[in-house]
Amino acid sequence: MDTRQLRYFVAVCEFRNLSHAADHCNTAASALSHHIASLEAELETKLFLRKPRGMEPTAAGLKLLTHAQFILSAFETAASEIKHGQAEISGNIAIGMPFSVIKVIGGALMRRVIEDFPRVRLLIREGLSGVTYSSLRTGEIEAALIFNPPPDSQTLRTPLLEEELFCIGDPKIVGDSSEPIRLEDMAELPVALLQSGSLSRALVDRPAELAKLEAQAQIQLASIAGTLSALKEGLACTLAPKVLVSEELRSGELVARPVTDPRPVRTLHLVSALDARPTFLRESILNLVAELVGAAVHDGTWEGARPIEG
């Protein structure tokens, strides 16, 4: 038994005539007759009484008709929801991401949601990667963009890009040069570091160098605004991506120098709970986020980043 046989069966029940039903189904009467006979053989019962002027459903046929109509209606509903589900997307969704990510794609994300998903209410929660990861695990947000998330078996993560970290600061501190600087030499400068696990995982292979850099950092911050203030006041340099201070780099207020030995790189992942129930809303918004991240890397807006193909 398949949906085509059920559609043919329902048509014969409605028209009570094999030829009329065949015309309605755009098929030959002989083919329709063959399918009805196969259905009767499979169910081991007569579904119609063949009369000179048509076909009359039996009691078994009328019982099957009720089930067939329900089954076909369910198939049509499922197909319609899948084909046109995006047009009906609605609801609330909360996504977490760091300030630097919001700075690059936040405006475009809000605009696209307003234009493409007018019935969606989007909450963007700013936070450092470590804090955002905790919010995801506790269910406060449904998905997140996180740099170097810690390994676990409870989340689904998709790597989107790799981003290089630079020694950034006032030219009086880091030098008015774009020449590379060794991490060991950077540790001799006044440093302000963000308290974020993503930094340690970016330098996981060089714990001694990281420990020396952290030991030199007189100021530790859990605030992007505080970090920017320290840089602009000429108090310290920091290890950060270029997109964090793109305007200040263009104006010459700040300088970014590549770091070597080692070269710190972090990976941005799109992360969601592994056991989260799939929805059109979540899939659509996460696909949009990934699209915007890819576009920002491709057109150079996300300076210092390269895409991860996969």
Superfamily of domain 89-162+267-307: Periplasmic binding protein-like II (3.40.190.10)
Domain boundaries, the chain: 3-86, 89-162+267-307, 166-263
Long-range contacts of 83-88 (CB under 8 A, 24+ apart): 85/280, 86/280, 86/284, 88/119, 88/280
275-309 pLDDT per residue, tens: 877 888 899 999 999 999 999 999 999 988 999 87
Average pLDDT value for the chain: 87
Which CATH number does the domain 3-86 belong to among 1.10.10.10, 2.40.30.10, 2.40.30.210, 2.60.34.10?
A: 1.10.10.10
- What residues contact residue 263 under an 8 Å CB cut-off, 6+ apart? 164
Q: Are 281 and 119 in contact (CB under 8 A)?
A: no
Name which of 247, 252, 227 is nearest 239 in CA terms. 227
The two three-digit tokens of residue 9, written as one number? 């069966």
Asked whether the domain spanning 166-263 has the same topology as the one spanning 89-162+267-307, the reply is yes
Cis status of the peptide bond prior to 262, with omega within 30 of 0: yes
Ranked by mean pLDDT, the top range of 16-25, 84-93, 262-271, 293-302 is: 293-302
Backbone angles phi, psi at 271, to 5 degrees: -120, 140
Distances from the Cα of 111 to the Cαs of 100, 114, 118, 123, 294, in angstroms? 18, 5, 10, 13, 17
140-157 pLDDT per residue, tens: 899 999 998 888 888 999
Q: Is the pLDDT of residue 178 over 80?
A: yes
Taking the C-alpha atoms of residue 291 and residue 274, their distance in angstroms, rounded to an integer, is: 21
Q: Is the pLDDT of residue 31 over 60?
A: yes
The second-level CATH assignment, the architecture, of 166-263 is 3-Layer(aba) Sandwich (3.40)
Cα Rg, the chain, nearest whole Å: 31
Strands 181-182 and 255-260: parallel
